[in-house]
Chains A and B, each alone.
Chain A
Amino acid sequence: EDQVTQSPEALRLQEGESSSLNCSYTVSGLRGLFWYRQDPGKGPEFLFTLYSAGEEKEKERLKATLTKKESFLHITAPKPEDSATYLCAVQARSNDYKLSFGAGTTVTVRA
């Protein structure tokens, strides 16, 4: 069974204080790893898809990287508007539509 573990559960940052979120996964043949952002009371918003180890993707202050066992979401010089819950999900080759999600990391950025 596919498993996704995210750490830490919560992260409090000062504005401008860079940090990283971790997503460890176990899947029998990775089809893709997805990062989403979720604001309170809203549905997840798609950020990135990573397909193979060594791949990196960037969007504004966010950068996602992938290894064979984990993915990192780096937040560089965060702003208060980056406060949200960040969700990681994996998709297996054998079932390439179902997403298996981690529980998320809730990031709070203080001004």
Chain B
Amino acid sequence: GAGVSQSPSNKVTEKGKDVELRCDPISGHTALYWYRQSLGQGLEFLIYFQGNSAPDKSGLPSDRFSAERTGGSVSTLTIQRTQQEDSAVYLCASSLAGGGNQPQHFGDGTRLSIL
């Protein structure tokens, strides 16, 4: 079956511009996660959505970052007024439900480069 789909796969933009990254989770998965992977570093948790519950935004690095999930499915991560330190791979994952019994399945990410 189809896995987690992310778009665009690559994004190059100028410092100060806003960007939107999209994630389409595996059908039937209620939990959705965003992570960031910087060169040479481990994946960093950003945000978690579970069903209709309020999201856990504790990993968002600044108020320039926001995310939403519409209709319990597709999610969009928005970065406003991008900075060079925002350059990274942004990975989305989904799981059948939240919690430790369910492995998270990842998309191939969006490579974001800020000039």
Which residues of A come within 8 Å of B, CB atoms?
A: 4, 31-32, 34, 36, 41-46, 49, 51, 87, 89, 91, 93, 96-104
Contacts and interface: CB of A to CB of B under 8 A. Distances in A.
Interface in B1-38: 4, 31, 33, 35
Given A46-B104, A97-B98, 14 more contacts: A4-B42, A32-B100, A32-B101, A34-B104, A43-B91, A43-B93, A44-B91, A97-B48, A97-B100, A98-B48, A99-B33, A99-B43, A100-B45, A103-B41
Interface residues of B, number: 27
Interface of A is mostly: strand
Contacts, number: 62
Nearest to A32: B100
Contacts of B45: 98-100
B91 A96 contact: no
Interface of B: 4, 31, 33, 35, 40-45, 48, 50, 56, 59, 91, 93, 98-101, 103-109
